[in-house]
Amino acid sequence: MNDVGTSYLLWLGCLFQLHGLHRFYNKQYFSGFLWLFTFGFLGMGQLVDLFLMPQMVEQYNHKIRGQLGFSPTGVPLNGSAIAMKTIPLSSDRLMVKLTRSAAKRGGQISVTQAVMDTGIGFAEVESALNAMVKSGYVQVDNHPKTGVVLYHFIEL
């Protein structure tokens, strides 16, 4: 993540005829070269950037957060591998994910399918499914040909 203070410090490069360093820092290469070769867009662009700097840094940070799987406020988005490792799911949220996964698969799911759909480990998924069995929301059965344990969601 970029820092506004660092951008302002690089902006001072204009004192040494190195205009646009702050734009390179924020990955705005085209305008960075434009500022470099036109003396900060004849000084006016450099001056305007004093006011646009926080927005420029926030725009860059927003882009990076999106690439890492986070919302603009820094909250992990669903489906992000990084986000799933950062904040563990509560058991209730895991059960909701398992229910949605089973709904996509016709109301039944195996532990391996649940792991693939949620990105959570085998032990945690199996524990959540067994808790749902104890609560009466799910029934356990075996696949007739393969013998794989299948969890049937009764209400789906």
Distance of CA 17 to the CA centre of its chain: 39
Please compute the mean of the pLDDT values over residues 86-107 and round it to a whole number: 84
CATH topology of domain 88-153: Arc Repressor Mutant, subunit A (1.10.10)
Q: How far apart are CA 17 and CA 28, in angstroms?
A: 18
Q: What is the pLDDT of residues 66-85, one digit of tens each?
A: 787 776 666 666 555 454 45
Block residue for tokens 């450099």: 46
Q: Is the pLDDT of residue 86 over 80?
A: no
Q: Which of 152, 94, 90 is nearest to 119 (CA)?
A: 94
Query: What's the pLDDT band for 109 if we cut at 50, 70, 90?
Result: very high
Give the pLDDT confidence score for residue 25 in this predicted structure.
94
**What pLDDT, on a 0 to 100 scale, did the predictor assign at position 83?**
46
**Residue 130's pLDDT is what?**
92
> Taking the model in full, what pTM does it have?
0.50
Domain ranges, ordered by start, for the chain? 4-68, 88-153
Write out the E strands in the chain. Answer: 108-109, 138-142, 149-153
